[in-house]
Amino acid sequence: MNTIVAAALMLAAARQVQSRGDDPNLRRIQAMLAKPAAMCGRFEQAKTLVGLRRPVKSSGRFCVVLEKGVLWTTVLPFPATLRLTKDEIVESHGAEVTKRLSAREEPTVGIINDLLFSLLQGDLGRLTASFAITSTVDDREWTAKLVPKDGGMKHVIAGIELSGGTFVRQITIREASGDATEISFSSIATGAAALLPDESRQFDLPAGSAPHPEDHER
């Protein structure tokens, strides 16, 4: 009798692991990633658009802060700021806000913020809910290919490719229309000190104090 119960419990436990899609590769990647509470760095982006001869390039700084959101500060070809939090997406040009989309008007603001946040942190575990993921991993490097599971999202995104080591180093987003965005990251710093005073202000943080400052650059 007891053995039957024990066997049933083990079966149930095994099924749970499976249903979470916990494949060993993903676990290794997760272990490798730093996932700090706050990190900033440089980005270089190239958009390849159907019908245009040259890709549209831009570069600047980005910050990802836990519980806050994502800050995307373009420096070249001209200054522009994009701030994503769970409540709103704000685009600004210098001091002037050029566009503001609140979660009240557009409920998917939170979802977009979640997606971008997970992508930048390389949080593949959270992304398994919406994407089928195939990955490769060795001691220092990993790559992952994400394909949307849901029919609705398939009409927009064809696939996403990620690669990196301790941090995500490159993201390629391929849209179903043929347009693609390729972003690479460098000079990544973590912890509270990573944020410039102006960046802290954007997240309503006191200058130089991001949450959980125990992380350090690896």
Partner 1 sequence: MRRGLARAWMAVVLAALLHNGWMWLVQRRTPETDLLALLPMDERDPTVGRAVANVADAAQQYFVVLVGSTDWTGARAAAAAYSHVLEAHPEWFGPVEQGALDEEQAMAPWWSRRAGLLTAADRRLLLGATPESWASTAMQNLTSPLGTGRIGAWQDDPFGVFRDWLQARAAETPVRPVDGLLRVDDDSMHYAVLPIRLRGRAFSFFAQQAVVPLLYEADSAAQRAAPGIRLLSAGIILPAAAAARQADHEMSTIGWGSLLGIVLLVWLALRSFRPIGLVLLSLGVGTLGALSVTALIYPKVHLITLVFGASLVGTAADYGLNYLCARVGDSRDPWIVMRTLLPGLACGVVTTVVAYLGLALTPFPGLQQMAVFAAVGLVFAWITVALWFPLIGGPAIQSSRLALWFGATRARWPVVNRSATTVAAGVAAAVVIAIGIMRLKPNDDIRLLQNSPPGIIEQEGEVGRILRAPAMTQFYVVRAASESELLVREEQLRVRLDSLATARVIDGYQAVSSWVPSAETQARDHELVATRLYGASGPLSRLATALGEDGTWVEATRRRLVAPAAPLTIKEWLASPISEPYRHLWLGEAGGEWASVVSLQGIDDAKLATLDAAAAGLRGVTFVDKIAEISGLLGRYRREMGWVIAFSYVAIFLLLLPRYGRRAWRVVAPSILASLAALALFGIVGQPLQLFHVLALLIIFGSGVDYAIFLIERPDAREGNAWLGVGLSAMSTLLSFGLLSLSQTPVLRAFGLTMLVGITVSMLASPYFCTDR
With CB under 8 A as the contact rule, the residue among 129, 136, 197, 207 that binds partner 1 is 129
Phi then psi dihedrals of residue 147, to 5 deg: -125, 130
Residues 131-160 that bind partner 1 (CB under 8 A): 149-152, 155-157
Q: Binding string to partner 1 for residues 28 to 47, with x set by CB under 8 A, is what?
A: ---------------x-x-x
Using left for φ > 0, alpha for ψ between -120 and 50, and beta otherwise, residue 98 falls in alpha
* Non-local CB neighbours of 100 within 8 Å, separated by 6+ positions: 88, 89, 90, 91
CB of 173 to partner 1, least distance (A): 7
Q: Which DSSP symbol is given to 207?
A: T
Q: Which is nearer to partner 1, 21 or 206 (CB)?
A: 21
CA-CA-CA-CA torsion for 155, 167, 90, 206, nearest 10 degrees?
160
111 touches partner 1 by CB under 8 A? yes
Give one DSSP letter per residue of 130-190, joined into a string.
TEEEEEEE-SS-EEEEEEE-SHHHHTTEEEEEEEESSSEEEEEEEETTS-EEEEEEEEEEE
| Chosen residue from 179, 184, 189, 193 binding partner 1 by CB under 8 A | 179
From candidates 64, 116, 146, 192, binder to partner 1 by CB under 8 A: 116
Q: Does the footprint of partner 1 cover residue 170 (CB under 8 A)?
A: no
- Choice from 35, 42, 49, 125 touching partner 1 (CB under 8 A): 49
Contact residues toward partner 1 (CB under 8 A) are: 43, 45, 47, 49-54, 56, 58, 60, 72, 74, 77-78, 80, 82, 91, 93, 98-99, 103, 105-108, 110-112, 116, 129-130, 149-152, 155-157, 171, 173, 175, 177-179, 181, 183
